[in-house]
Amino acid sequence: MKLIPEHSFDAIIIGAGGAGMRASLQLSRRGFNVALVSKVFPTRSHTVSAQGGITAALGNVDNDNWLWHMFDTVKGSDYIGDQDCIEYMCKNASEVVYELEHMGMPFSRLDNGKIYQRPFGGQSKNFGKDGQATRTSAAADRTGHALLHTLYQQNLKSNTVFFNEWYTLDLVKTDNGNIVGVVAVCMETGELSFLKGKCVILATGGCGQIFKSTTNAIINTGDGLGMVLRAGFSVQDIEMWQFHPTGISGSGVLVTEGCRGEGGYLVNANGERFMERYAPNSKDLASRDVVARSISLEIREGRGCGKNKDHVHLKLDHLGEDVIKTFLPGVRDLSITFADVDPIKNSIPVVPTCHYMMGGIPTNKFGQVICLDDNGIEKIVSGLYAVGECACVSVHGANRLGGNSLLDLVVFGRAAGEHFINNHSDINESLVKDSDVEFSARRFFDWNNKKGEHTVSEIRSELKNIMQEDFGVFRTGSVMANGLKKLFKLRDKMKNTFLSDKSLSYNMARIEALELDNLISVSVTVAIAANKRTESRGAHSREDYPNRDDDNWIKHILVNSDDKVSYRPVNVTPSTVDPFKPTVRKY
């Protein structure tokens, strides 16, 4: 008798944010039987928090060209983004935005009725030669909310099967390495199920909860990365973490780069618009890594604002009430709620805050997960895709441009769905053993049986402190080496951690324990990769290696759960243009 009941689908999608729901939509519209598994009701996914917009060279406001978008993205990635994938994303950007509009997404509009676009950081015209571009499409400053709700609505229309508030424990892998489904637990009842599918598409989002101060939702715990690591595969570029320049000081709540796109700017304690010094051309619309570092330097050199001199000010009051109320209403609400500041009258206190995971599960441009065999040769993991923030395609490289994350979700969510439609094959049933399924359920029972003296929250809080202090905006070899040691110790301490609440009914304590497994696995890989990369590139800024080292480090770092490091080359073979060669990155 099977211990765990089985439900069969064509495809199992884990995560109901923008990427997961775009993938499920592609499949369910074509009549495939799709299970969409999410630990929260779909519209509670973190995509909902995205504010500023989705970038595509629509050219609604100004001349534009998707190749310029591609150039900016390659430059933004500090030249370790894969150029074939960046090409694919930028080339398809306009089409996916028009699709979203046709689905009913409530974009803001221009006078001529076309989709509204605003300038965003790191954007240029004519390959950096003709100044700032205006390329980011927006629904006021609630673009993520508008996008996520629209995709949920379309999935309702196309009869996707939702497993809302089901938590996925692990992938089910056969002896020959194929992925044939997952084991998931229904949070309401605590019952386990084997959800079997011809493929699993991971769309579990980021892992910003490894940092103490983050703009990420509490649910962003790297669950997909944990699953992939436990299945014996690697994560890629995981040392690359974006610190968003403008998190509200104290709470970490995000205010969009769109504030600066609309004409806002940063000032230090002296009232100086300091970005003019660091990025004479782009100023406040330089790339996020550049702006975040500049703010950190201002604070470090004593020019921070407030009585603790620990933040800078984002000035919007000169934009006028109309612009703020029409295009930045959400930011105004957040600022009033979390900083007690109305940006119509006063400046918002902001500080760089952990925001986005550029690394993740390595994939090709179809979302197929890539692993290295024993000889270091690349191969595709059969039956497994990853899309969205949990994936590393890699289109963001060492630094993501604003507006490219929502784009990444829909372009590659759609691509993975489309690839499955054209390439799927039936599961070889004889290979799926009950013991494989039971193995994937083990964490559930392990946590019930664990004994010890430490609580989940205690370990988690230690973890966040280590990551925040040792792997932040500025990094140093000795500090990081020590940080890694502390993480290894913490990983041992985890064995001594127990769960007091063993109820089956909506047990959030158990979910948090299961999430902690993922947080710690991901943190260790971050620390290993960050120690390994002995240069400064994009968001990875080392004080002991302040320069970019193109001779040795134009490559991806991979780390697996045995703490083993390997490398992959960066793709420089786009099909329509000559590759963009690394040059000094100035804004």
Partner 1 sequence: MLITVYRYNHEDDFSYKMQEYNIDVSKCNGVMLLDALIYIKDNLDESLTFRRSCGEGVCGSDAMNINGVNGLACITPLNKFNDKVVLRPLPGMPVIRDLVVDMTAFYNHYRRIKPFLQNDESVSYNAEMLQSKDDRKKLDGLYECILCASCSSFCPSYWWNPDRFLGPAAALQALRFVNDSRDNKTVERLSYLDDKYNIFSCRSIRNCMYVCPKGLDPSKAIAELRIKMLNNNI
Which residues contact partner 1 (rule: CB under 8 A)?
Answer: 40-41, 43-46, 48-49, 58, 95, 97-99, 101-104, 106-115, 139, 142, 145-146, 149, 153-154, 156-157, 188, 217-219, 250-251, 253-254, 330, 333-334, 337-338, 455-457, 461, 499-501, 503-509
Helix axes 404-423, 18-29, angle to 10 degrees: 30
Q: How many CA atoms lie within 13 A of 250 on its CB side?
A: 11
* Residue number with CB closer to partner 1 (172 or 456): 456
Least distance CB 44 / partner 1 (angstroms): 4
Distance CA 247, CA 351 (A): 5
Distance CA 255, CA 456 (A): 31
Least distance CB 266 / partner 1 (angstroms): 21
- Catalytic pick among 135, 142, 230, 288: 288
* Residue number with CB closer to partner 1 (189 or 428): 189
* Residue number with CB closer to partner 1 (338 or 553): 338
Contact indicator for 197, 489 with CB cutoff of 8 Å: no
Least distance CB 420 / partner 1 (angstroms): 21
Least distance CB 66 / partner 1 (angstroms): 14
First CA to last CA across the chain, in angstroms? 64
Question: In which residue are the tokens 């480090």 written?
Answer: 553
Least distance CB 183 / partner 1 (angstroms): 22
Q: Provide the pairing of β-strand 136-137 with 54-55.
A: antiparallel
Least distance CB 87 / partner 1 (angstroms): 19
* Residue number with CB closer to partner 1 (188 or 446): 188
Distance CA 241, CA 357 (A): 5
Distances (CA, A) of 288 to 76, 180, 237, 397, 413: 9, 39, 17, 13, 25
Least distance CB 18 / partner 1 (angstroms): 13
* Residue number with CB closer to partner 1 (88 or 265): 88
Active site residue 30: no
Least distance CB 140 / partner 1 (angstroms): 8
With H, G, I as helix, E, B as strand and everything else as coil, classify residue 441: coil
The enclosing H or E element of 511 equals helix 508-532
Query: Which string of DSSP letters, residue by residue, matches 105-169?
Result: ----B-TTSSBPEE--TT--STTTTS-----EE-STT-HHHHHHHHHHHHHHHTTPEEEETEEEE
* Residue number with CB closer to partner 1 (189 or 573): 189
Contact indicator for 224, 361 with CB cutoff of 8 Å: yes
The strand pairing partners of 67, in sequence order, are none
* Residue number with CB closer to partner 1 (218 or 577): 218
Distance CA 148, CA 413 (A): 13
Distance CA 17, CA 409 (A): 8
Least distance CB 251 / partner 1 (angstroms): 6
Distances (CA, A) of 505 to 187, 237, 508: 7, 38, 9
* Residue number with CB closer to partner 1 (139 or 201): 139
Which phi-psi region, left, alpha or beta, contains residue 501 (left: φ > 0; alpha: ψ -120 to 50)?
Answer: beta
- Written as six digits, the tokens of 500 are 């007091």
Distances (CA, A) of 136 to 257, 404, 557: 11, 9, 31
* Residue number with CB closer to partner 1 (325 or 433): 325
- Known catalytic residues? 288
